[in-house]
Structure 1
Amino acid sequence: MKRFTLILLVAVMTIIAGCGNNESGGEEEASVESIKLIAAHNQTSTENPYQDGLVKFKEVAEAESDGAIEVEVHAGTIGTEESELVEKLQTGGADVVLVSPGFMTQTGVKEVDLFALPYLFTSYEHWENVVDGEVGQQLADLINEKSNNDFKLVGYWSAGVRHYYGKTPLQSMDDLDGLTIRTQTSGVVANYWEQTGAIPTSVAWGELYQALQQGVVDSAENAYPYFVQQNHHTTDNGKFITETGHDYTTRFLLVNGEKFDSYTDEQKEIILKAADESVKAERAALYAQEDEYKQKAIDEGAEVNEIDRQPFIDLAKPIQDAAAADMGVEDLLQQIRDMQ
């Protein structure tokens, strides 16, 4: 009788344990550990593709983790300069940031300037094939390696196709001679504009409207969704837009590599999935806004003209060759050209 009772008790305990495992989803399905991520971009307006991308990152990360991964999105509130965001990523003040190649070179990873070369890409299709393919992966690996794991690239975003806009339209390259232009003032970008005859000038993005309005600079260059949102086209020195199409821009979505490595496998998987979805959302928003903001500029009095780009392209090629040789990425440049 005692033996029967013991057997019955063991059976009941086994059933209870089994039910407990089923209710919790099994012992192997551990819940995601809680973390909070600060995600930031440098644009002060929330009506832009950067914001759309980071909001999608937040939505996916929080949904996939059942809220265990909390994401706080900052639109220009912890830094309107990309150099500030890079510094915060390194020091722990931010966990996910968006930066351009030009600011990444300041960290010692000069190879990333490859993607900043004028007229490197011929279309969005060409750009996507490059960044989403082998070349993009090689550059991502270089960033991680050369930065000693300070930076891990988790996605390629775009900031649109950049065009000239200024106080006078361009009919030929000669019209740039002596004009000050707000752009990057060092590296391959500055070198290119100097070769056109323009004078690269440094102005903070948040101060550019006033600089154009007051004649501090004669012109600038950027993509429609960004300079139209800032009303640059309404100033005397920004109303003439010439579609030079000199840069299909690349932006890097970065996390701190060392910190990323400290996360659990579940956290890593969710963050990477959120990054992938943010890439899709940001690009879709950007592509839609290109036409929308071009029309807005025209409707509000800006004048848009096209130009023969071939002289600009011809000027860019030897600059591309020299820069790639200096960076030691001649093979990557050739791969990009072969994919046109």
Structure 2
Amino acid sequence: MKPLVSVICLCYNHEKFVEKALLSVVNQTYSNVEIIVVDDCSTDKSSELIMRFLKTYQSIKFIQNEANVGNCISFNKALAIANGDFIVDFATDDILKKDKLELQVNAFEQLDNSYGVVFTNAEIINENGDYLMDWYDRGVAVSDGYVFEKILKKSYISASTMLVRREVFDFLGGYDERLAYEDFDFWVRSSQKFKYYYLSDKTIEKRIVSRSLSAKADTKIGYTIIASTLNVCAKAWWLLKNETEKQALKKRIYFEMRHALMIEAFDCVLSYYSLLKEMNDTDIKSRLIKTLAELKIPLYYFYKIYKGGQG
């Protein structure tokens, strides 16, 4: 018997996409699949469409949240009833390639138990389903094995491509429900204990949606994202084992400090500086960023012009 894979499908206001997303799960070439759908109190017709879908696919487990609680809590609710040896965290605005689970389970069967995650390439699509580029067309270097240091420097993995050994989530206790988003924290907390393995296959179509949380990271709404990232960087500080990892974290903190400054999340900038002080690693550059935050220099307008010019 092939191992059971639990696909946890998270939906919030995905009425335009949810049926096609769920069909991509039920039509997998890999057959031993448990499907759990969580609707996070959508305000559109998502829940209605899911209920209609369940009339045809009655083995699917469905959780309807009575209030909007976010991805981390929603995922943990599903994880608590999941029985799979492997777990997929799947947003229902994306689409799984039909052989995704087969490819990744087969890869796991060739690996030893030190590997906790298999991740892949992805196709990026727009809201209309038009292909834009591959995930790794953006010139990002791919590393696998123990990726802790690499992931501190840059978040290069497409989280939606991952197949995760259940043991990893058991070790972590699921997602940290205090956070606005889950992937950076998952990578930081898991990557020192478990190895990651990269498959070059494109196993999902990852949709860029203007209303998504990640799409708001460069806006003032992204404040909660920045605050969560700060929380994860503080956790990473306690996980460091050597100077190389410390310098990787320092590089990430500088990047996040600049971003926080640009969207005027001044208190987060000061908290990042405090973290650098705790690390005994402040310098002229960090003190300058701190001073600009203390003066509350309004940079957001110019930042948006800059970002618009890049687009």
TM range (shorter): under 0.3
- How does the TM-score come out when normalised to structure 2? 0.24
* Larger Cα-atom Rg: 1
- How does the TM-score come out when normalised to structure 1? 0.22
- Structure with higher helix content: 1
